[in-house]
Amino acid sequence: MKLLIVNPNTTAGMTDKIGDAARSVAAPGTDILAVNPDSGPVSIEGHYDEAYCVPGLLEEMARGKAAGVDAAIVACFDDPGLGACRELMDVPVLGICEAAMYAAAMTAGSFSVVTTLKRATPIIGALALRYGMERHCRSIRAAEVPVLALEEPGSDAADKVKAEVRRALEEDGAEAVLLGCAGMADLARRFTEEVGAPVIDGVAAAVKLAEGLVGLGLKTSKAGSFAAPRAKPYAGRYAAMAPGAPAAARAAE
């Protein structure tokens, strides 16, 4: 199967890390296509960044649709534009936050999340409510590191994340900890061994859940919530993204 993974920010090094994490768990028959938009925020830290990452995210999704991918993943822990991607795509589309929460809910009595900046915690809290996971979620902690600090060689960002993972386990009653940023995808295995409890990366969780959904022959239901967008013109710079615009026009964008 062909699995599209879109890092919605524009930092290619992070996209490479996400692709590596995905390939490390993918089944032999799963081809991973890890991409990011050319335009948009270099990192997503709050609502404004999130809003401006979605057009580029949708353009990459449209390219994947034209290329015939079998499933797609939004590789940002805010799950930005997930509903819009599900309207656009017929194949399953997973967000790494939702995937990680489902994986934790099926393997642990409770979980916490450790993300980057404190400003991300209410966004993730709102997602837990949307996904009906608030009953499993003991806490959402922030290591107070910028997203791109995780990309800097020699940074102490990973140590700060691990310290919060330990606190979540020792102080908050968490029985598993989710890594609340796609840029942490390379830390899950090492942290799991070091802290002695499941530390879950949403990228890997989404890859395996996507493989399962495709194996079941499931696609995104068009019966209502994720029905295709109604055809209409879009004015200005997004004209090529108008619902019903020729796919060739989009792919050429």
Closest contact distance (angstroms) between CB of 222 and ligand 5HY is 28
Which residues 191-250 are close enough to bind ligand 5HY by CB under 6 A?
Answer: none
The only residue of 10, 115, 121, 220 in contact with ligand 5HY, by rule CB under 6 A: 115
From the list 55-63, 180-188, 222-230, 232-240, the region that binds ligand 5HY by CB under 6 A is 180-188
Does 145 bind ligand 5HY (CB under 6 A)? Our answer is no
The only residue of 5, 88, 120, 188 in contact with ligand 5HY, by rule CB under 6 A: 120
Looking at the Cβ atoms of 207 and 214, the one nearer to ligand 5HY is 207
Does 78 bind ligand 5HY (CB under 6 A)? Our answer is yes
Closest contact distance (angstroms) between CB of 3 and ligand 5HY is 18
- Within 8 A by CB and 6+ apart from 124, the residues are 77, 78, 97, 113, 115, 140, 180
The only residue of 3, 6, 44, 179 in contact with ligand 5HY, by rule CB under 6 A: 44
Helical H runs in the chain?
12-23, 47-67, 82-88, 96-105, 121-130, 157-171, 188-195, 202-215, 247-252
**CA 114, CA 132: separation in Å to the nearest integer?**
19
From the list 57-65, 154-162, 175-183, 234-242, the region that binds ligand 5HY by CB under 6 A is 175-183
Looking at the Cβ atoms of 118 and 222, the one nearer to ligand 5HY is 118
Residue pair 184/165 in contact (Cβ under 8 Å)? The answer is no
**CA 92, CA 122: separation in Å to the nearest integer?**
27
Does 165 bind ligand 5HY (CB under 6 A)? Our answer is no
CA angle, corner 131, sides to 198 and 107, nearest 5?
25
Binding footprint of ligand 5HY, residue count (CB under 6 A): 14
Task: List beta partners, residue 4.
Answer: 33, 72
Relative to beta strand 111-115, strand 93-95 is unpaired
Report the length, in residues, of the chain. Answer: 253
**Residue corresponding to tokens 């900890």:** 177
Which residues 7-36 are close enough to bind ligand 5HY by CB under 6 A?
Answer: 9
The only residue of 84, 91, 103, 181 in contact with ligand 5HY, by rule CB under 6 A: 181
162 C-beta neighbours (distance < 10 Å), count: 19
The only residue of 32, 147, 177, 206 in contact with ligand 5HY, by rule CB under 6 A: 147
* Strand order from edge to edge, sheet including 111-115: 137-142, 111-115, 177-179, 199-201
Chain positions contacting ligand 5HY, by CB under 6 A: 9, 43-45, 76-78, 115-116, 120, 147, 181-183
